[in-house]
Structure 1
Amino acid sequence: MRYNLFGPGNSAVLLVSRILLAALFVLFGWSKVTGFSGTVDYMAHVGAPVPMLSAAIAVIMELVVGILILVGFYTRPLAVLLALYTVGTAIIGHHFWNMTGADQMANMINFYKNVSIAGGLLALAVTGPGRFSIDGK
């Protein structure tokens, strides 16, 4: 039998995928919780509805859901939820279509990075976390 490193059932690659996807969310979720008042101010600045609630949702989605994806717990539904959140944050936080110059380019890049990350999360939702996960036990 031939071994296919990149086959959909390869748990090691799925583990690396979860680590890479979760790293961004856990890192920035942690910075949001440790600088919560700044997070609330930022939410108000970008026009997020109810900035205090939006900041709390951001912490839960990024830190808590990020950790759960990392360990592979309820991976499929949480990956879909985090993908929707990521597209939502792209729309709320990176509205490049209202900008010009360098701000427009920077926000366009971040908008499409969010869209791409959402694509990775949806792929994870389809494949599942692999056997090196809580779901896989």
Structure 2
Amino acid sequence: MNAMIERNKDALILVARVLLMVLFVLFGWAKLTNFGGTVGYMGSLGAPMPAVSAAIAVAMEFFVAIALILGVFTRPLALVFVLYTFGTALIGHHYWTLDGAERMMNMINFYKNISIMGGLLLLAVTGPGKFAIHRS
């Protein structure tokens, strides 16, 4: 098993980059194509400066996610994405202030963000593999 993984390491890293970022690309595109709605949503969450927060969300979730899929500046962008993902967990999924089903749903999403951060940290450590535009 170890030999098979080692032989296919670069392809597996590519698949991992795609799987890790597909969620962000999809929702980043939705935020980009409905920017007004995104600004309103950011305001409803209590995000600081909703228009700026929406622009940051679009930049990270769509453009930086695509850069990570392509393997562009993977290590530094993965670390920036860790911070972004932690920020979105704190702002968007503050389950500790909620009750009932809403609390449980937000707790699940909060800890999904924490898990995604783990994948991003691994990506920062491993780098993009050989199937990347920029091998950093």
Q: CA deviation at 1:136?
A: 3.4
Is the helix fraction higher in 1 or 2?
Answer: 2
Q: Which amino acid aligns with 1:21?
A: L
**Could you list the per-position Cα deviations for residues 52-72 of structure 1 after superposition, in whole angstroms to 9, with x for gaps in the alignment?**
000000000110000000000
Partner of 2:103: 104
Length-normalised TM-score, structure 2: 0.95
Residues 26 and 66, structure 1, Cα contact 8 Å, conserved in 2: yes
2: CA distance, partners of 1:71 / 1:107? 31
1:90-129 matches, within 5 Å, as 90-129=89-128
1:135 positional shift? 2.0
In structure 2, give the amino acid aligned to 1:87: F
1:68 and 2:71 are equivalent in the alignment: no
* Distance across 1 between alignment mates of 2:42 and 2:2: 48
Please name the residue that 2:80 is paired with: 81
Paired residues, what number?
A: 136
CA–CA distance in 2 between the matches of 1:5 and 1:111? 34
Cα distance in 2 for partners of 1:65, 1:8 equals 28
Indicate the residue corresponding to 2:19 in structure 1.
20
**Aligned equivalent of 2:5:** 6
CA distance in 2, matches of 1:38, 1:5: 46
| Amino acid in the other structure paired with 1:54 | S
Task: For 1:45 and 1:73, locate their aligned partners in 2 and report how far apart those are by CA, in whole Å.
Answer: 33
Does structure 1 retain, via aligned residues, the 8 Å contact 2:73–2:135? Answer: no
What's 2:36 paired with? 37
Deviation of the 1:8 alpha carbon: 9.9
**Percent identity over the alignment?**
57
* Superposed CA RMSD: 1.8
Unaligned runs of 5+ in 2: none
Deviates more, 1:6-15 or 1:48-57: 6-15
**TM-score, length basis structure 1:** 0.94
